[in-house]
Amino acid sequence: MEDLSRRKLLGLLGMAPVAGGILGAAGVGVAKTHKKVAATSQEQAEYNQARESVRQRFLPNVPLFTQDGKRVRFYDDLIKNKIVTLNVFYGNCEGVCPAITANLVKVQKLLGPRVGRDIFMYSMTLKPEEDDVKALKMYQEMHGIGPGWTLLTGKPDDCELLRRSLGFTYPNKLIDKDKSQHIGNVRYGNEPLMLWAACPGMAHASWIVESISWIVRDDKA
């Protein structure tokens, strides 16, 4: 098999359905968000409209609870105006969850103090009926998850809406219903720029950090 560069590998594997969907919804507004200040009121209006369209379609403002028992709104409190990573898991998973979590702990360590300051990490349970606040706190401590990485639970219907909106789904409905076969991707995005992509959760930690850095640099360009 041909050896792929890190950039090519992430490019081939990273653009998950949510990435294409969000970029498609944003349309021409995506390019305009690269300007820190819109040149005209019309451009500003187009940007605002595109951003709101993305929010309504892909980023539902559902209520959730963190591992510390804090009630939050998904968009307003966690996503708006932030650079974020997103993945799904559940506490009693014997499949990919522990390995992906361990890999993301490496990512968090490589990002260092930027986590919780410039970049925010979120993991949402797929089994909110089992993973209450206490279970999430135990998971955090068990896996050495540090500050700036928030675990999330909520009502089953809200968590399911969020899972589907973010694109953590399979086209095959039978596979999609089986939580043990859930998608192991990590979404990452720059919300104000409407830039979203994804990469495999088991990609080398330094590759994940590098891919995130591209959208961070865009934000500061």
**Pair of tokens at residue 221:** 């360009």
Q: What is the DSSP letter of 115?
A: B
The mean pLDDT value for 119-145 works out to 97
pLDDT of 8 reads 42
Question: What is the dihedral sign for C-alpha 196, 191, 213, 98?
Answer: negative
How sure is the predictor about 179, in pLDDT bands with cuts at 50, 70 and 90?
confident
Which residues in the chain belong to E strands, given as ranges?
63-66, 71-73, 83-89, 119-125, 149-153, 185-190, 195-200
DSSP string, 117-165: TTEEEEEEES-TTT--HHHHHHHHHHHT--TTEEEEE--HHHHHHHHHH
pLDDT in tens, 59-113: 999 999 999 999 999 999 999 999 999 999 999 998 899 999 999 999 999 999 9
> How many CA atoms within 13 Å lie on the side-chain side of 2?
5
CA angle (104, 190, 47) in 5-degree steps: 165
Residues 6+ apart with CB under 8 A from 15: 197, 198
Q: What is the phi/psi pair of residue 120, to 5°?
A: -120, 130
Helices 205-220 and 6-14, axial angle in degrees (round to 10): 80
What type of residue sits at position 216?
Answer: V
pLDDT of 18 reads 42
8 A C-beta contact, residue 148 and residue 108: yes
Can you list the domains of the chain with their CATH numbers?
Answer: 6-220 (3.40.30.10)
pLDDT in tens, 205-216: 999 999 999 998
CA distances from 81 to 7, 103, 118, 173 (A): 26, 26, 10, 34
pLDDT of 39 reads 63
Q: What is the DSSP letter of 191?
A: G
pTM metric for this prediction: 0.83
Q: Nearest 10 degrees: CA dihedral of 75, 21, 179, 205? A: -80
**What is the Cα gyration radius of the chain?**
17
Q: What is the phi/psi pair of residue 123, to 5°?
A: -130, 125
